Amino acid sequence: MDFEKENAHKDDTFKVPANLKIPNHLAVTMDGNGRWAVSHGKKRTQGHKAGTDALRRLVEYSIKYKINYLTVFSFSSENWSRPKEEVNFILRLMRNYINSDLEKLTSNNVKIRIIGERVGLDKQTLNLIKKAEEKTKNNTGLQLIVAFNYGGKAEIASAMQKIAQKVLNLDISPSDIDEDMITKELYINDVPDPDVVLRTSGEYRFSNFLLWQSAYAELIFIDDYWPDFNEAIFIKTLKEYSKRERRYGGVEVK
């Protein structure tokens, strides 16, 4: 099926199957680009390139299945430790992705937001981030949240710094600090917590992704490498989520 050519959100002939529970917020750690490349006798960078195409597919499916928020882990604050050549390639890919897809994302009513540390990013990347957010800020469809130069612990630490400053200014006292206050100081505070955190490539870790926000997320792990992500895997994930019973620490209500 060619999702590239069709305007998925305008296709009202597609009805989301009634037996599928659709998460309001889906978060994805797109893992396994490097191993995918090696398993195909290619260079790691080719894996990242194929991973970008998989991201395009994920965005199309998310629109088609009417997910409201999609957060993707594109580059972690720890990924800088990779060989410079690979890091530069990934940064270039991300810029190319925005450059080539921004028009289409805009016309598909996607609102793009980028979370992560901006300090230390090059000007070119910063400008593109700004352009993508600015151009799509009034869109009302899928919110595509890209975690870039992102680390969950750093996000919480930065929230703490802002709160500590308020204590220092005597605006609040330490006993005023509660969960809501911390949530408000995160990179984004108007997005509901993820219902599902999906990780590909058979790795069972958080890797510092949305630590605070994932307290009650359903964790789904699949063995496929990220570049192989397709609609069947997307549906499999939704089916798995549909089976889960979310109790938030309570008991099942019959």
Closest to ligand IPE by CB, 45 or 108: 45
Q: What number of chain residues touch Mg ion (CB under 5 A)?
A: 1
Tell me the closest approach of the beta carbon of residue 37 to ligand IPE, in angstroms: 8
Tell me the closest approach of the beta carbon of residue 49 to ligand IPE, in angstroms: 11
Does residue number 152 form part of the binding site for ligand IPE (CB under 6 A)?
no
Of 7, 53, 68, 79, which one is the catalytic site residue?
Answer: 79
Tell me the closest approach of the beta carbon of residue 137 to ligand IPE, in angstroms: 26
- Say whether 251 sits in a helix, a strand or coil: coil
Q: What are phi and psi of 71, to 5 degrees?
A: -110, 130
x-or-dash string of contact with ligand IPE, 168-207, rule CB under 6 A: ---------------------------------x------
CB of 224 closer than 8 Å to CB of 179: no
Order of all β-strands in the sheet with 69-76: 111-115, 143-150, 69-76, 25-29, 196-199, 218-221
| Residue 152 binds which of Mg ion, ligand IPE, none (CB < 5-8 A, kind-dependent) | none
- Say whether 11 sits in a helix, a strand or coil: coil
Contacts to ligand IPE from residues 36-65, by CB under 6 A: 51
- Say whether 145 sits in a helix, a strand or coil: strand
25, 31, 49, 71: which one binds Mg ion (CB under 5 A): 31
x-or-dash string of contact with ligand IPE, 65-84, rule CB under 6 A: ----------x---x-----
53 has catalytic annotation: no
Of 31, 33, 108, 149, which one is the catalytic site residue?
Answer: 31
2 has catalytic annotation: no
8, 30, 54, 196: which one binds ligand IPE (CB under 6 A): 30
Provide DSSP, 189-246.
-SSPPPSEEEE-TT----TTSSTTTTTTPEEEE--S-GGG--HHHHHHHHHHHHH---
Contacts to Mg ion from residues 34-73, by CB under 5 A: none
- Say whether 54 sits in a helix, a strand or coil: helix
| Residue 93 binds which of ligand IPE, Mg ion, none (CB < 5-8 A, kind-dependent) | none
Tracing tokens 């192989």 back to the chain, one arrives at: 228
- Say whether 178 sits in a helix, a strand or coil: coil
Within 65-211, residue ranges assigned H as helices are 84-107, 123-136, 152-168, 179-184
Report how far residue 220's alpha carbon sits from residue 125's, in angstroms, rounded to the nearest whole number: 31
Residues near ligand IPE (CB under 6 A) are 30-35, 51, 75, 79, 90, 201
Q: Active-site positions?
A: 31, 79
